Structure 1
């Protein structure tokens, strides 16, 4: 089982491109470095608006607007009122699908799983239909099994989300690898649910502080820098 955002799909790059498309009318003088800073602030989400959306505090559209509002306030952008915010959300959502791409190592990894007759699917902390469309835009229609937060009305790291993925795969947790880029949610969460946890550390940044690994207490979570390394993990302990 795979996470989707920043595991299979380069969401950061897609969101940055969509932000530029939606924001350029308000920030016509921004250059490349400015857009890097804009995207970094948005993705950092210091107020945890996305996590709060997952928890049910905001709608998806509301968290999108709140995050944009915080970034525009940081840059002191005038005129970002409620109407401008709604226009920005709409422009962003129209632009993002055109920039969705799978990482280069995804298709070869799925080809290898197909060749080995190892079933696979995805578990995501977003709603099913939104993520279904994202996979399709990325050319990953072959991933037919997909669990979203609305599938079992729960979100990672709750065990039942991972277990639903296993149920749909027809595999037990102990014989299922779960691969994701978020050490706490994907790594520790899937390990706690009894799956074989694989943390995808594409930037080779190391486990975050405050995690079990950061405290020197991580057990059973294996690390890969790319999906090409999964072959070594699906041999002796096959799915």
Structure 2
């Protein structure tokens, strides 16, 4: 009976944590998306089209993910309540690896933002945008490599599977879109659309791989 009670209590705790995490993520994501769209429509960021607005939304997902991880590292007790970790001690133990991941996510999100704001009608000059993107790309590369070196075999395998799956999704989606455009059935993807697809489908692939491995279940 004691074992059953413990298991039931643990399942209840995980369910509450899942509901809290999903609810919090959904609320923050909704507020962030509405804020980004309002900012884009205000004209402060220049004359942005659909491609730029979608890129900003995808960039926001990267920024929120990175910020959530970094917040969890700064406040482990609070972070353990919504991040998929066992407890605050696990966050402290994984801080070197997660720090690189969080910074890398923020850098990639910032890179896509700069790309969206640096095109035609944007507020950032092409030369400035290029330099900023180069710096952010270097930051993302360095922090990602540092994080990768600290990962165990499981996390490295997840990363490899994610990269492979993302490649195939991009080929399928982007290739189909390009074919339809070539045949005159649709407008072709703009250069920024390709960047957005790279970023978005990498996130999608990560969710698919993690879910397929049963790692989405809250601990």
Q: Normalising to structure 2: TM-score of the pair?
A: 0.29
Q: Which has the larger radius of gyration?
A: 2
Give the strand-richer structure, 1 or 2.
1
